[in-house]
Amino acid sequence: MGPARIPYRDTVVAVHALFKYARATYHGKRDVTLTVHSGLIGYQTRFHVDDSNRLLLQRAPLPDELGTYIITATGTGCVYVQGHLKYHTHPVESFQHFTLKVTTKPDHCTAEAQRSFEIHVTVRYSGNRATTNMGIIDVYHVSGFAPVARSLKLLHETKTFSIVVKQETPVSNLQPANVIIYDYYDPRERAEAEYHAPCAGN
């Protein structure tokens, strides 16, 4: 069985598992109340899910304070609850299956770089196999910047490429961003690199 057939087999297994889960959890009537609370900081919010709003995404921000949050559910039915936490993490030094280098042009702050700059990515597979099957590169952008569409059209069949990003929202105290490459069929083979906006310190 070649690697190209693995995603199809995984999809069949996943669909079968979802079918069994739906059959085990389905109820004709849905009426659930979710309560999120933290006694330490006095926070509490409620969500109500029934057949009239079961497809509606409900959200509530948590306070910017450390604490233990408890979720309780009462009623009948099955609902999906997810917590979302976003933060910046620095790449962990370990064996790299890819050699990944990220630079910016210009590499120092200029008046133009405050509005737009290029991200240069150079990558090479350095793992134990002769070649990698399919490499996926994720380029994260510093806050307030977005890729220029015309620069994305130039990325086909290249190993060194540039992405132009421009500022859409002014953001102070810019934090570094990550670039990640990984093998599509074996995500354990991966590498990470970090880059700074030229005007990050301004």
Contact between residue 181 and residue 123 where contact means Cβ atoms under 8 Å apart: yes
Quick one: pLDDT at residue 4?
Answer: 44
pLDDT tens for each residue of 56-84: 889 888 887 777 889 999 998 888 898 88
DSSP labels for 48-95?
EEETTTTT-----PPPSS----EEEEEEES------------PPPP--
Quick one: pLDDT at residue 8?
Answer: 59
Alpha helix positions (H), 65-202: 149-152
- pLDDT under 70 in the chain at which residues? 1-10, 27, 86-96, 131-134, 152-159, 202
| Domains, the chain, with CATH or none | 3-76 (no CATH), 98-195 (2.60.40.690)
pLDDT tens for each residue of 28-42: 788 999 999 988 788
Q: For residues 196 and 28, what is the distance between their CA atoms, to the nearest angstrom?
A: 53
